[in-house]
Every structure is written in structure tokens, then in C-alpha cells.
Amino acid sequence: MSHLSKGLLRFYTKIDRRIFFRNSLTLHTLSLNLWQDLGFREIDESVLSRVLQGKRLFTPKQLDVFLKHMRANFDEAQFLSYCLLKDICERRQGTPPQFFLSPNHAVYLIQGCMDKFRQLANEERKRFLEEKQKFIETLLTILTFQSPRLTSSPHRESLPPSQSSLLLQPHASVL
């Protein structure tokens, strides 16, 4: 039995001589669905049966379509992809890498990481701007207490009260 066929055991059960997959499809109906999704080629009932018996391997494209029909979660898909890679390497007398990602799963992981980086960058940018705003407010407070020129500006008396208070407030354009 191949590694892939052992991994596929969790997706089906045998009752008498019939195979039922976890989405309630039989071997025949699942093979028809896979055949249709693969452009009416590449797989049929006998190919699927030989894959389950370990006599043949899925192609990566066939495996992706199979996983879609089984509604496999990420861990299951990753495990079966690794089993397929391990079987391919053993048949070619190679050693599989310790960590393997199919292209679809690699894109999924990279997108998740980028979303997390964007979220962290936005949070860090907010913290940075808040720190700069506090620094400017502190600096303005220190300057207004130490400099009599800022507190008693000749222009301050000529401005209306609503605008004179703007002299001591940091502006958004400064940040």
C-alpha cells in the first residue's frame, strides 16, 4: 500500500464490497464527478480504484480536484499532498523534503501572512502616530510654559478666542 492510499483511508468506508466516501458518494459517482471536473479525461472508476488500492498515484491536479470534492480542510490537504510527494520520491529513489507545500496551499499561507503583516503594520502605524502626537503635545506644553513669547503673543489678543486656542494645539498636517 502506498502512503497516499493509506492517507485516503480516512475519506471512505467499505460496506460489503461497496465504497462510500464521506460526502455520501459511491466510487462510481465520485469518479464521474472527478472526470467531469477534469475536463472529461484523466480519471475514471478504475483509476480511482487503483489509487485507493495503492497501485497507482493521483497527479497533483487530480488530488486537488479530489480534495475539493471531499471538502478537505487545510491539514488533510497538506497531509495528502505530502503523502503523494513521499510516494513520488520513493518511486524515483529520492528523499522527500521535510516540509512540502502544494502551490495552492503556499499561496493560501502567503496570503494569510500578508494579511497579518498588514494588520500589524496598521496597528504599529497607529501606535507610532499616537506616540508622535503625544511628543508634539508635550513639546508644545513645555514651550508654552518656558517661552513668554508664545503665551503672550501680540497676535493672540487680535485673534478671536476660537482661533487663538489653535496656536497651542497640534495640527493634523504636522503628523
Query: Cα 129 to chain center, whole Å?
Result: 29
In this predicted structure, the answer to whether residue 36 has a pLDDT above a threshold of 50 is yes
Task: Assess whether pLDDT exceeds 60 at residue 155.
Answer: no
Angle, CA 61 vertex, CA 58 and CA 65 arms, to 5°? 90
What pLDDT does 28 receive? 95
pLDDT tens string 37-96: 999 999 999 999 999 999 999 998 999 999 999 999 988 988 898 888 888 888 887 766
Range 112-116 average pLDDT: 76
CA distance 163 to 145: 20
Query: What per-residue confidence (pLDDT) applies to 167?
Result: 47
Quote the CA–CA distance of 140 and 143 in Å, as a whole number: 5
Can you say whether residue 121 is alpha, beta or left, with left for phi > 0 and alpha for psi between -120 and 50 degrees?
Answer: alpha
* Mean pLDDT over each residue of the chain, to the nearest integer: 80
Of residues 145 and 80, more confidence is placed in 80
pLDDT value at residue 6: 96
**8: which residues sit within 8 A by CB, 6+ positions away?**
51, 52, 80
- Band of residue 2 on the pLDDT scale cut at 50, 70, 90: very high
Tell me the three state secondary structure of residue 20: strand
What's the whole-number mean pLDDT along residues 112-132? Answer: 82
Q: Report the chain's C-alpha Rg in angstroms.
A: 33
Residue 150's pLDDT is 46
Q: How far, in Å, CA of 86 to CA of 90, rounded?
A: 6
Cut 0.75: pTM above it: no
Entry field: residues in the chain:
175
pLDDT digits (tens, 9 = 90+) for 5-17: 999 999 999 999 8
Q: Is the pLDDT of residue 19 over 80?
A: yes
Does the pLDDT of residue 101 top 80, yes or no?
Answer: no
CB 8 within 8 A of CB 80: yes
Bridge partners of 15, per DSSP, are 18
Q: What is the pLDDT of residue 100?
A: 58
